[in-house]
Amino acid sequence: MNPTGVSIRDFGGSQLRDLLHSVHLGGIANNSVELLSETLGPGGFRPLSNSPSWRSGVADDHTPFEFSTAFAVGEPAMVRVLVEPTAAEPSPAANMDAALDVLDSLAGRHGLPLDRFDAVRDLFLPSEPQGEFSLWFSLVFRADAKPVIKVYLNPEVRGRAEAPLLVGEGLARLGYGAGHATIVDHARRRGDLDRYSFFALDLTESSGARAKVYLSHQDATPDDAVVAASAAHGVDAETVRDFCLVAGGRSDPFTGRPLISSYTFLPGDVDRPSGYSLYLPVRSYVNDDSEARLRVLATLDQHLIDPTAFRSALGAVARRPLADGVGLIAHVSLRIGAPRPGVTVYLSSEAHSTASPRVATLVS
Ligand code: TRP
């Protein structure tokens, strides 16, 4: 147990504040911290604990939020938080209700357009949700702009077998129906090894509003990732091979945590998406976070991105020496194609616990 009794929301809020300050976004810290608190739902008032009452899938230690920092050449860093709202008495159905309450109040206060969410909600929010979660949010913070709020829905919420139907129908309702076959051909070639993991929507005005589909690829090779990337139009799919090598440190199959693809559909996309991202769970392929940090720096260098903001962000979130654990740097992702290419680094709060470093094994 945590002797100080600090709540999840206060802990997350102070980390977010430090992170925003570290990348020169201190001016929006107060509003951003308030938004995070609200999005955590009633469960955010619980004190931190080594055995949390809801084992959130957002982070390995079950903290219900995770930070990320998005970098692109010549652009200021963006800070984001992925959040699972939870109920006072968490359960799959109670958390879904808590998340819908959060959405109602955010929509009211921030004037969020819910038309596209409403178009698909009956698919993804059944009365008895199955699987790991039903509704997560992402809050995107940028200087001089209102935060962007995104929702993540679970394609397996009616069971794994229903996932392709839900995603196909969801895309069709948003006008991207013809894109589903393209995704299936490129990213669902290996049966059950390729699973639908998220269906995401931006709650912004439709002109730039995106829909994203995520698939995880168990035991995938860099070649599989290149094929997955080539579904998006106008991208150089080969760049993901170098990314696997530099960020993942290997050209062998990724047999630990899976590589994940996401496809971005933008208005005007007809039969294929215009953006692709590859998420590499670097924490499964390093011994500790000091090694993960080097992988991130090499990746930023490969893409000509100034590492200053990443260094500051990491310093702001870490509360321990990097070599003393693994998983603080959870994923590294590469975005190619529209709307803008770049690298994103996912930083765990470690609010509940830290995973011990792996010991490099000496093969005799
Ligand atoms: N923790 C989950 C995972 O690692 C979900 C998740 C959190 C995730 N942040 C992510 C998945 C970033 C992909 C990218 O799969």
pLDDT greater than 50 at residue 364: no
Kindly give the distance from the C-alpha atom of residue 257 to the centroid of ligand 1, in angstroms, as a whole number: 10
Q: What Rg do the C-alpha atoms of the chain give, in angstroms?
A: 19
Q: How does the average pLDDT of the chain come out, rounded?
A: 95
Strands (E), the chain: 65-71, 78-83, 135-141, 148-153, 194-202, 211-217, 259-265, 275-280, 329-337, 342-348
Kindly give the distance from the C-alpha atom of residue 290 to the centroid of ligand 1, in angstroms, as a whole number: 20
- Neighbouring residues of 217: CB distance < 8 A, sequence distance ≥ 6: 187, 190, 193, 194, 224, 225, 228, 254, 258, 259, 260, 261
The minimum-distance atom of ligand 1 relative to the CA of 330 is 4
pLDDT over 90 percentage in the chain: 90
Per-residue pLDDT tens over the stretch 98-155 = 999 999 999 999 999 999 999 999 999 999 999 999 999 999 999 988 999 999 999 9
Kindly give the distance from the C-alpha atom of residue 109 to the centroid of ligand 1, in angstroms, as a whole number: 28
Strands (E), 203-311: 211-217, 259-265, 275-280
Per-residue pLDDT tens over the stretch 163-197 = 999 999 999 999 999 999 999 999 999 999 999 99
Instruction: Name the residue at shortest CA distance from atom 7 of ligand 1.
Output: 58
Which alpha helices (H) appear in 212-273, and where do they start and end?
Answer: 222-229, 239-248
Hey, what amino acid is at 282?
Answer: V
pLDDT greater than 50 at residue 1: no
Q: What token pair was written down for 258? A: 């899976």
Any residues with Cβ below 6 Å from ligand 1, and which? 57-59, 66, 82, 260, 279, 281, 331, 346
Beta bridge partners of 136: 152
Instruction: Name the residue at shortest CA distance from atom 12 of ligand 1.
Output: 331
The minimum-distance atom of ligand 1 relative to the CA of 58 is 1
Q: Are 291 and 258 spatial neighbours (Cβ–Cβ below 8 Å)?
A: no
**β-strand pairing of 135-141 with 275-280:** unpaired
pLDDT over 70 percentage in the chain: 96
Q: Are 289 and 328 spatial neighbours (Cβ–Cβ below 8 Å)?
A: yes
- Is the preceding omega at residue 357 within 30 degrees of 0, hence cis? no
To test the pocket of ligand 1, the residue of 260, 280, 282, 283 to mutate (highest count of ligand atoms within 8 Å of its CB) is 260
The closest alpha carbon to 140, from 361, 289, 344, belongs to 344
Q: Calculate the CA 69 to chain-centre distance.
A: 11
Instruction: Report pLDDT for 69.
Output: 98
Tell me if the pTM is above 0.75.
yes
Instruction: Name the residue at shortest CA distance from atom 6 of ligand 1.
Output: 58
Of the listed ranges 18-22, 31-35, 80-84, 206-210, the least confidently predicted one is: 206-210
**DSSP state letters, 312-343:** HHHHHH--S-GGG-B-SEEEEEEEEESS--EE
Q: Are 57 and 133 spatial neighbours (Cβ–Cβ below 8 Å)?
A: yes
The closest alpha carbon to 100, from 56, 39, 54, 52, belongs to 39
Mean pLDDT of 204-227: 91
Q: Are 22 and 316 spatial neighbours (Cβ–Cβ below 8 Å)?
A: yes
The closest alpha carbon to 273, from 212, 363, 219, 185, belongs to 212
Instruction: Report pLDDT for 148.
Output: 94
Per-residue pLDDT tens over the stretch 251-288 = 999 999 999 999 999 999 989 999 999 999 999 999 99
Instruction: Report pLDDT for 270.
Output: 86
pLDDT greater than 60 at residue 45: yes
pLDDT greater than 80 at residue 206: no
